[in-house]
Chains A and B, each alone.
Chain A
């Protein structure tokens, strides 16, 4: 099967406009007859469900949490990019497009990225209109900050809670449609399979997580907005419930999986403190605007950070990448931290951490404030106090969070940070219209693979989720549904629904009946360890092959020895988790397979076999300038399809942040 990305013809900056001008439309009377299912209510899902409801489609939205407001988009801290150029610092749609393609290490589809950059400005307008309280300047206009991988200030933010504010905006739009009867909301429901009729996605089987019963839901199209799969690593910054199940079920029903090995390891997270650790907490990348990253110049230096004099500190990012310094993209920063720690320069009890120090920023801001308020010859303490207030206003909630978790005061002693799994660029393969290889099945936001290539720039995930939901899917979905107006609702008594539901229930019973000895959690931990050690920040052929063997073994062990307490037909979080871990195990295998196939280093994917002499990642455009789209052919069986990438505008060069 040849992959057709359906990229519109024409010049790059006209494609989207042209597409919108020629796309098929559905008249309002017909929209009322067309049903759409949205799985997941994060930024992509909530915005899609709300926008489609506004257009008049009959929408059903599903989330596994107790309320759509809890989706993990809520935890995004730093901000959202948009090419507004409010700061007059030379930003433009083109620059955002360029930065994103380059930041993604030339593994993204240009046309998608350009569209993303184009609609970015409308997102900010839309959010402000919804009442999202972005940070503002004293003049009453919006404030911006800079983020890693860029040299302009284009990031809009609401303190360290931007994701929360954007999600609550989308959530309120969604709830408005629920009130108007255009959207029906199913909370505490989990999608457990796609129903296909005549090759098209026609509905889902969902499980009510409160009473455990499965339900059949019909729709003319199904949108998966179910987020990323970082939890395959067990420890990640994802929420405990974040999972791949919806996307994985779709994959097994024929949707290709794109670039599964592209994982983003975020450089600034709070380090692991012990075996009990259940998740990792991110410290927003925006902190790198003001914090300086360093390790001691001496190996195994056990002095307190504040006792280490300036000349004995190695500000290794500033040293290695003078042009971008502490603001290099995430993949570069993460690998540099790993390199230092592996060499024995790490700090803290586990020696797997580096310092993120705000002392200089506090003093710099303090002096400015002292000048502003006319305090002549302020002493060090006064300057520190003034500077601390500025830093507190910018990052107060992050500092508090750090202190709650570690018990240390980051105003006085540098933060300890270490990279952690944060985002997955890979996801279901979609074409320009966000449709997967299954007609009528779409993937939006982090659940698809499309816009970030091999590495996502900071503050771009929120942008993509909302772009897909608010401004892309309302057009592209119509193009498909315009041909579906003659399809009346299919009864959920159709054989396909009965059969799929039966399969879902059989799998649930099978899980319950294993009655083995090991807990679901212990399997998840084991999987996570394999993935982190062998398919994490650095990967090599031998390790990946081993990992595949280990995962296959683990899968067998899981299906013969997992222990799930309780019953099917009741609130049973262990059973929910078991289903998700089972899918993660299968995904883990595919990720390793993909990582093995891609014998180059690009973005977040670092193959030890492919590096320059000074240890930088080395891309191989001749052999790997493609999207790997994997087709599932049954148990551990995959076929690789390649979507070749051609770069019309942004010519690939070896990325350099030096």
Chain B
């Protein structure tokens, strides 16, 4: 079995989804943790310090490459699997009642993922591009907190962010436990625990992310 064979087989591709999924889950903890510094309400001082550390530390920048690689792999595999799976049923059922046997969000990972991808394009253009431009043009350090205040002052942007976070919630809610199943872990004792942790995780992450644009927009913090 060659590596290529392994990673292009159906289960191999699932592993890619599962591994990168868990990797992204871990990333979100860090992302949410650092961003939550804004809730210290210290005019973004701590937050900007953390942001500065993340963008200037070479280990972090190395990991960033990994993050993007994982993200891109997750997106490409996800899209290609979705299309491949469509082909497995060339004629659709005339009358189908999937709600009788499965949850809507488990069946909607492709759509939720696509929404998240669109959200991500917006999100990166808001925050990531400017940071990088500032970093390489050698201008004064980029004030990410300022930028947040600016971006979230617009109401429709805040609404779009909330839509993104809701998509993220359902994506994580299914994806968290699904990743474990994909990696071969299904156990009478541990699976319920994994499901609970997954739910708590998805709730906390998404509530934190949702609070950020809302809190800034409503000027609870500045």
Are A and B direct contacts in the complex by CB distance below 8 Å? no
